[in-house]
Chain A
Amino acid sequence: MKIDEAVKKIKDRFGNKVLKVYKHSEKRAYVDIDHDDIVPVMTYVFKDLSFRFNIASGVDTFEGIEILYHFAHDPSGIVISIRVLLKDKNDPHIDTVTTVTKSAWWIEREIHELFGVEFNGNKDLRPLLLSDDWPKGVYPLRKDFVPPKRDSRKT
């Protein structure tokens, strides 16, 4: 499957729900969709097109919290990243994709604690990397996070 073919299949299936497509090269493409459509799009890409779920990555941008779901199609060596934007930084939320694949189990916990994104329907959002006594509402991978100054006399 060529990258154009894969992108066309997604476009044909979801029509104007696909907001923007950016083809970086013959191996990489980025597809923007609305955050409400993530579950059907992911189901289609992961189950019907048999892509492998690489990982998701959050980015704190001026417009809001951006989440990229990266997918690889190993037989053809292409990677497609599905991008969603959560505009409300104070209360970002999106549907969980753990119902589609178990491989999203840990990364949703990670994005939840590092970016403060709420995954609707995911009941297991316990801390994964941060300690249990990490203060609530402090998200270290957001750009406004200021790391506490280390007092050298104490250490």
Chain B
Amino acid sequence: MRPVPAGPEGHMEAVPVLGALSALVVASEVLGRLGLSLFLPAFSSVAAVWWQVLVTGPLLPALLKSLESYVKGMVPAVAAGVVAGLLLGRYRWLGEVFDPFLNMMMSAPLAGFIPILMAIFGISDTVVVLTVFLFSFFIILVNTRTGLQGTPRSLVEMARSLGATDVQILTRIYFFAALPAMMVGVRLGAVNGVKGLVVGEMLIALVGMGELLIRYGNTFLINHLYAVILTILGLALTVSLAIQALDRLAIRWK
């Protein structure tokens, strides 16, 4: 199995991100005021609509609904992904059997599975939850597995020589040795999970922020559309930065 795909490169720092986004805000304000195009509104008008839609409109319930689906999908993905990753890393034959399948799942456009899920589960938010799960589970699995495979032999031999059982070695040595890679996997998985969330919601067009995107798109409400896009942007960045912070707390020995 190939080593962990790097995908979005490493860390984002909060300050430069805020700086870059502020620059974009300023640019959009300037360009928007110029009235160049219907599709380039000024930030202030978007902000105004955003506030309105949030407080009196459907944005807040949609956001909460999206978060609900997200958590319902992510939590099992993390748990299952970590456990599966540890197992597939620990028992090499297991890993080898599933290798081609994993390779496939990592390179295939997972959004393609959504119509299949819709056929099985109908038009419901279960599809969204499963999509979030799909989008993050494999990434977490692969990263955890790679992390475990990188455990220094000497640590394992040391534990064995002190009489540790297989389970003890798994939980006390392998788990912690794999932890840094695991956290990378969780972060990448969480970010991808947000993508799954949005795509899923857009395709079933029933609930959540994805539905709002479709709705406003269909009704040509540009400012509203931007407002939702910005909210989603905020969500994605918050998730990414939050997990980075968690990462730093969890792994202080690095």
Does B bind A?
Answer: no
Residue ranges of B at the interface with A (Cβ–Cβ < 8 Å): none
Residue ranges of A at the interface with B (Cβ–Cβ < 8 Å): none
